[in-house]
Amino acid sequence: MKVMSFNKKAKGFSLIELMLVLVVLVVLIGGAYVLFNTLSQGAKSDQAQKNLMGLQAGVKRMCTRAGQCPTLAAATVISAGQAPSDMINGTNLQSPWGGPVTVVATGDLGGTDNAFDYTFNAVPKSECNTFVSAVQNNFGKITIGGTAVKDVGTPFVLATAVTQCEAGGDNNTIVFTAP
């Protein structure tokens, strides 16, 4: 009768080793996902800043050429070729977060149609503070959800901006006013 012996140097991986590898892979994939989302949101905020500054410059160019432009609208800015190309969605302007962007003449800086409101809708709270803080020096008045965080003669108040961005959740409406 032949006695069977087990080879103690079996080849392959044990179940515990395979599970450990799976756990490490899940952690790595989860970390990469979080990093990607963070970088993606930061890129959208950067793009929104560039778009807003480009839109403001385009409106100023149009008004300088015409002498005045109180009936200005998004479609007019687009047809004049003064809107950043990645903001254009048909005859409308759109933010990197998918919300509509409007441009209207206003008297909010102490005159009649002497300034323009650039309104960004559907700005997520995770991007709101970064977006507003980065461009606030270029505008005389800024409101978030109807509350002024900067006004003529009043400096930008970061604490108010943070509170308003949180209150608006992922659907903040921000109005930037500039001459």
Place of tokens 């756990």: 23
Quick check: is 153 in a domain? yes
Quick check: is 1 in a domain? no
Quick check: is 4 in a domain? no
Quick check: is 5 in a domain? no
Q: Are 135 and 148 in contact, with CB atoms under 8 Å apart?
A: no
Quick check: is 12 in a domain? no
Quick check: is 99 in a domain? yes
Could you give the 3-state DSSP secondary structure of residue 110?
coil
Quick check: is 40 in a domain? yes
Could you give the 3-state DSSP secondary structure of residue 136?
helix
pLDDT tens, position by position, for the chain (179 residues)?
566 555 566 677 788 888 888 888 888 887 777 776 665 666 788 999 999 999 999 988 887 766 666 567 788 888 888 899 999 999 899 999 999 999 988 876 555 556 889 999 999 999 999 999 999 999 999 999 999 999 988 899 999 999 999 999 999 999 999 87
Could you give the 3-state DSSP secondary structure of residue 92?
strand
Residue 143: per-residue pLDDT: 96
Q: The CATH number of the domain where 115 resides is what?
A: 3.30.1690.10
Quick check: is 10 in a domain? no
Domain of residue 146 covers 17-178
Q: Are 48 and 75 in contact, with CB atoms under 8 Å apart?
A: no
Q: Are 149 and 160 in contact, with CB atoms under 8 Å apart?
A: yes
Number of domains composing the chain: 1
Task: At 142, give phi and psi (nearest 5°).
Answer: -140, 130
